[in-house]
């Protein structure tokens, strides 16, 4: 549906939770064909790196802050998030 629709923005919130591997594969394929903008909230760094995320943000002190590292660099991204741990949720 994503690859044939005429929408400009797709918002996904933990979209790979409770999905089998085959369904995630189909999602990745469809998302990579999508021509619009994506806003993805996920803790699944493998999924995020496979859909070619170009910017990553975290929520800190009630504000979105851009991260230095992307999901394609999982060790560096996790370390960056851990170095600045706070009580707020983290968005990747």
SS3 content of the chain, % helix, strand, coil (to 5): 30, 20, 50
pLDDT in tens, the chain (92 residues): 555 667 789 899 999 999 999 999 999 999 999 888 899 998 888 898 899 888 888 877 888 888 888 888 888 888 887 775 544 444 44
What's residue 90's pLDDT? Answer: 46
Tokens describing residue 85: 């741990």
Q: How far apart are CA 90 and CA 92, in angstroms?
A: 7
Question: Quick one: pLDDT at residue 28?
Answer: 95
């Amino acid at each position: 549906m994503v690859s044939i629709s005429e929408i400009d923005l797709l918002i996904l919130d933990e979209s790979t939770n409770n999905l089998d591997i085959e369904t995630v594969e189909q999602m990745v394929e469809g998302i990579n064909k999508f021509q619009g903008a994506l806003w993805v909230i996920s803790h699944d760094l493998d999924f995020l790196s496979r859909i070619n995320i170009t910017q990553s943000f975290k929520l800190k002190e009630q504000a979105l802050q851009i991260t230095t590292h992307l999901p394609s660099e999982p060790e560096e991204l996790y370390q960056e998030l851990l170095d600045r741990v706070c009580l707020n949720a983290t968005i990747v």
